[in-house]
Each structure stands twice: as C-alpha cells, then as structure tokens.
Amino acid sequence: LQFTEEKLGQAEKTELDAHFENLLARADCTKNWTEKILRQTEVLLQPNPSARVEEFLYEKLDRKVPSRVTNGELLAQYMTEAANDFGPGTPYGKTLIKVGETQRRLGAAEREFIHSASINFLTPLRNFLEGDWRTISKERRILQNRRLDLDACKARVKKAKAAEAKAAVTL
C-alpha cells in the first residue's frame, strides 16, 4: 500500500542518504558493465555461439568441458598430413612441416590463453555477479522493505495525530 501510494504521489517517501544513493548507483553501473564485459569476453574467447551454449551447459551440470582442437591446431594437423602425402623430403613438404609446426604451437598458445583468461579473468567476474551482486540485491530489497515499513508507520502516526488534534478541537 505504501509503495503504491508513493508511486501515485499520495504518500511521502523517506529519501536515503545522498552518499548511499551514490553507492547504489555505482553498484548498478558496476554490475551492468561487468555483465557486458563478461559476455563480450566470452564471445571473443569462443566466437561459436553453439559451442558457448554447450560450455555453459557443461558448467551448469558441473561436468568437465571436453577439450576442443583450436583452429590453429586443426590447420597444423592438415598441413602435417599434406606434407606426409607430398613427401617430407620435397621442398613443399618441408615448408608444410615447418609452417604446420608453427601453427601447432600457435594453436597451443591460443588454447592456453583461453584457459588462462577463463580462470584468471572470467571467474572473478562471475563470482562478483553470482555472489557479491546477489548479496547487494538482497540487502537492497531488505532496505527498501524497511523504508516502506517506516514510511507506513510515519503515515499512521501522522493520521493518529491529525485525528487527536481534530478530536481536541471538537471538544
């Protein structure tokens, strides 16, 4: 009732401290940017949306995500196989072996980067959103309910005083 009356402009609302309002605004801003950065980093690390959904499901089911071959590693495998078909002694075969080995190392470095970024960068962001932010939201709801209760009590006291004054005037 208090909330509805406040929204309709029929009841007074106790304003929170300006510093506290600023903290709430900063918390909201932090949450919004954290979500955007988290999503975009996930897109950068895994551009394939279906693979991201699969990884998400494995994570939610507390299962280990199967290891994927990176594009660099796959290219290296194809180059090595082609080199073997052409013959490792031919100039083209030798070149394919050298480039294939370099691609394999690049693919392994990419895999390590993705793993490291996931653990060292994405995990703290997720921990904030799933832990700290939930706590902030819960405490914010509790504070809002307490404020509404306080304002409702203030309104009742105001009505009671008005009724007392009216009764004293009529006597």
pLDDT given for residue 13 in this prediction: 74
Task: Choose between 92 and 8: higher pLDDT.
Answer: 92
Q: Which residues contact 69 (CB under 8 A, 6 or more apart)?
A: 77, 107
**pLDDT tens per residue across span 90-102:** 999 999 999 999 9
Average pLDDT rounded to a whole number, residues 135-146: 94
Share of the chain above pLDDT 90, in %: 57
Q: What is the DSSP letter of 46?
A: -
DSSP 2-16: HHHHHHHT-S--PPP
CATH topology of domain 16-170: Substrate Binding Domain Of Dnak; Chain:A; Domain 2 (1.20.1270)
**pLDDT tens per residue across span 23-71:** 999 999 999 999 999 999 999 998 888 888 888 888 788 888 777 888 8
pTM given for the model = 0.73
Q: Where are the domains of the chain?
A: 16-170
pLDDT given for residue 6 in this prediction: 66
- Per-residue pLDDT for 108 more than 90? yes
Task: Choose between 5 and 16: higher pLDDT.
Answer: 16
* Residue 86: closest CA among 100, 71, 72: 100
pLDDT given for residue 171 in this prediction: 66
pLDDT given for residue 169 in this prediction: 84
pLDDT given for residue 61 in this prediction: 83
pLDDT given for residue 152 in this prediction: 85
Measure the CA angle with vertex 149, ends 155 and 138; round to 5°.
Answer: 155
Continuous H helices in the chain: 2-8, 18-45, 49-60, 71-86, 91-117, 123-127, 133-170
Whose tokens are 């007392």? That residue is: 164
Instruction: Name the least confident of 17-26, 107-116, 143-152.
Output: 143-152
- At residue 106 the predicted structure's pLDDT band, cuts being 50, 70 and 90, is very high
On the CB side of 14, how many CA atoms lie within 13 Å of its CA?
A: 16
pLDDT given for residue 14 in this prediction: 75
Q: Which residues contact 30 (CB under 8 A, 6 or more apart)?
A: none
